[in-house]
Structure 1
Amino acid sequence: MKVLFAAPARLWDAWAPALRAACPEMALCRDGDPAGFDALIYAPGYPEGGAALDFSPFTRARVVQSLWAGVERIVTNPTLTQPLCRMVDPGLAQGMAEYCTGWALRAHLGMDRYAQDGVWRNAVTPPLASARRVTVLGMGELGRAVAAALAGLGFRVTGWSHSGRAVPGIEVLAGPDLPQALARAEILVCLLPDTAETRDLLDAELLALLPAGATIINAGRGTLIDETALLAALDSGHIAHAVLDVFRQEPLPPDHPFWRHPGVTVTPHVSAETRPESAAAVAAENLRRAMRGEPLLYRVDRARGY
């Protein structure tokens, strides 16, 4: 099969060897006649220069396999008629679970209260995890991995998703029960995708439903939270802290108020990374399925946007 690597040039050296090892029957190319390709492996930033890729000449392509979990930058492309699959990578899920668990534990244990200044602060003992309520918004592959890791430490975990699909060992609330899910969230982990339904979902009204002193960890998409409302909730003390890894504009501009706010920790979109060594196998399986005419893994629902 002939496959176009429709991704930024900087990714080639890391991805090409892994993809070829996982799928040796594939001829992986960086350019060529669009009508001659059986599939595309895609990442945002292709083609170089900012123009959207025109998928219409790829008349033979049976699948467009995204290298990233988020597909909001491609799913609305009107020229894309081929099946689109998002990346669900075991390494991505593990990395997200580690990131969210680490920051949740930091908030839970109050690690920032122990300044190294010679003052003996032993008046406050943190509760056990079993006494701390955590809500995970978004119960896809990443959300399930994070919820399982937190529940394994003993946290009282509630999941929320639009569908409310059951997850073994985790109570999952459905769409209309979002206020209930937020009211439980002493620590709120946001892992929702960027869709028309989720943009600015956490506005002032919904942020007010969180318990006083709550911590927010947003590793989903920067569009999920109304920034003005979040800053106001932090200023009032209703939200104690926000750990933010994703933003509407990345890199986050140096003059953005998040950098200066004492209640915000900015991390530079490092919560989880797609790793070629594990993700290449997922891409290879989908390429083979496409060539055999079999159901594809993680196919994107265009109407829902993920």
Structure 2
Amino acid sequence: MKPINVGVLSKIPNLLRELQVKLTSDSLLNLARVTAINNCGNSKNDFKDIDVIVADYDLVGPHLYTLENVKFIQGTWAGIDALLPHIKPELKLNVPIFRFSGNHFGKIISEYVVACIVNHERDFFKVHDNQCGKKWSQEGKIHTYRTIYDMTIGVMGVGQIGSRLIQTLKFMGANVRALGRRSTIDKNEFHFVDEYFQSTELSAFLGKCDYIVNTLPNTAETRGLLNHPKLEACRDKSPVFINVGRGGIISDESLFQAIDNNLLSHAYLDVFNQEPLPEQHLFWTSPMIKITPHVAATSRPQDIAEQFIENFNLFHKNEVVPSMLDFSKGY
């Protein structure tokens, strides 16, 4: 097998070095040549001798229809929003694109969600305030908290990220409900799911949750899925909402309305309808909303390199690559 030329078109620090290190230990890729694509891919000649590309979507997007020799593109992000403006529906795209998602993102997202739940239930924000005021206090939730195994947690999405999150929560003892597109799930494959609901059963899914976690991508089917009055189903439990999927799942107005009407008791938001979140946005000052700047799962270079090797080996053996992008689905 001739050496593989891997072109890197990314602004992620140390990605090229991580690829060089990890590829030397792989039997198929130990002779691979890893190079940075010159001039950020401004010329067709920059891709002439490249077999596969590891790239940020905004950088590779303008060149999708001129990559004559490239076998596939390994993306460096899970979300494809930056890629969509470059897609031309009237033209056939001949190069497969693999998202950076799956097990790596699933593990990191799971840590973030567990951190949100534990911090909220044990009121560590108040603990920090008490420390700043030199106040020894065990009052309220600090002392009388719920544990993960006390609660029912609903996860929207049973893809690679959602499935990993569900497994993590189940391992910690939660009763886990899952919402997905498919009509049924394989009980053997998804044995860690206590109850499964189709997207058409949204109200039933929402009704008994102490926490609702959204991991769904931004698609025509998911945009506005939780808009008013959908969250009326949450009135009895008033759950906490954690959004690590995409901001479009609910409008800003609907989220405020749900909190004002006690349909949601709190929201932890990592993704937004407009990013960066404008300085004047009311989310910043709402006491019932906690904000992180789209960092629940960052694209770490070592993880991208590992997933690239996994996907390359599957592709080389003509096996299904789970993270292959399907534009008809939007992810």
Partner of 1:121: 139
2:155 match: secondary structure: strand
CA shift at 1:214, angstroms? Answer: 1.4
The share of aligned pairs that are identical, in percent, is 24
Higher deviation after alignment, 30-39 or 138-147: 30-39
Task: Please point out which of 267, 278, 284 is paired with 1:253.
Answer: 278
Within 5 Å, give how 1:16-165 maps onto structure 2.
Answer: 16-23=16-23, 24-29=30-35, 30-31=37-38, 32-46=45-59, 52-75=61-84, 77-78=87-88, 80-111=93-124, 116=130, 121=139, 125-163=144-182, 164-165=184-185
Q: Is the 8 A contact 2:7 2:54 kept in 1?
A: yes
Distance 1:297 1:125, change over 3 A: closer
Q: Is the 8 A contact 1:39 1:287 kept in 2?
A: no
Partner of 1:221: 246
TM norm structure 2: 0.81
CA shift at 1:26, angstroms? Answer: 2.6
CA shift at 1:278, angstroms? Answer: 2.8
Distance 1:151 1:293 in 2: 34
In structure 1, stretches of 5+ residues that fail to align are none
1:135 match: secondary structure: strand
Partner of 2:303: 278
Q: Deviations over 1:259-297 (max 9, x none)?
A: 011111011112112222233022123335445655434
Q: Is the 8 A contact 2:244 2:296 kept in 1?
A: yes
Distance 1:287 1:128, change over 3 A: closer
Question: Which amino acid letter does the alignment assign opposite residue 222 of structure 2?
Answer: T
Higher deviation after alignment, 13-22 or 205-214: 205-214
Distance 2:18 2:138 in 1: 52
Distance 2:148 2:166 in 1: 13
Q: Is the 8 A contact 1:36 1:58 kept in 2?
A: no
1:243 match: secondary structure: strand
Q: Is the 8 A contact 2:8 2:53 kept in 1?
A: yes
1:184 correspondence with 2:208: yes
Question: Which amino acid letter does the alignment assign opposite residue 241 of structure 1?
Answer: H
Distance 2:155 2:319 in 1: 33
Partner of 2:193: 170
Q: Deviations over 1:228-279 (max 9, x none)?
A: 0101111223211100001122221111111011111011112112222233
Distance 2:6 2:62 in 1: 16
Distance 2:321 2:150 in 1: 42
CA shift at 1:28, angstroms? Answer: 2.6
Question: Which amino acid letter does the alignment assign opposite residue 21 of structure 1?
Answer: V
1:98 match: secondary structure: helix
Partner of 2:219: 195
Question: Which amino acid letter does the alignment assign opposite residue 184 of structure 1?
Answer: K
Q: Is the 8 A contact 1:201 1:226 kept in 2?
A: no
Q: Deviations over 1:87-135 (max 9, x none)?
A: 1354322211111011122334455566635666359833454442110
In structure 2, stretches of 5+ residues that fail to align are 24-29, 39-44
Distance 1:38 1:292, change over 3 A: farther
Distance 2:102 2:17 in 1: 17
1:36 match: secondary structure: coil
Distance 1:284 1:119 in 2: 51
CA shift at 1:191, angstroms? Answer: 0.5
Structure number with the bigger relative contact order (C-alpha 8 A, sep ≥ 6) is 1
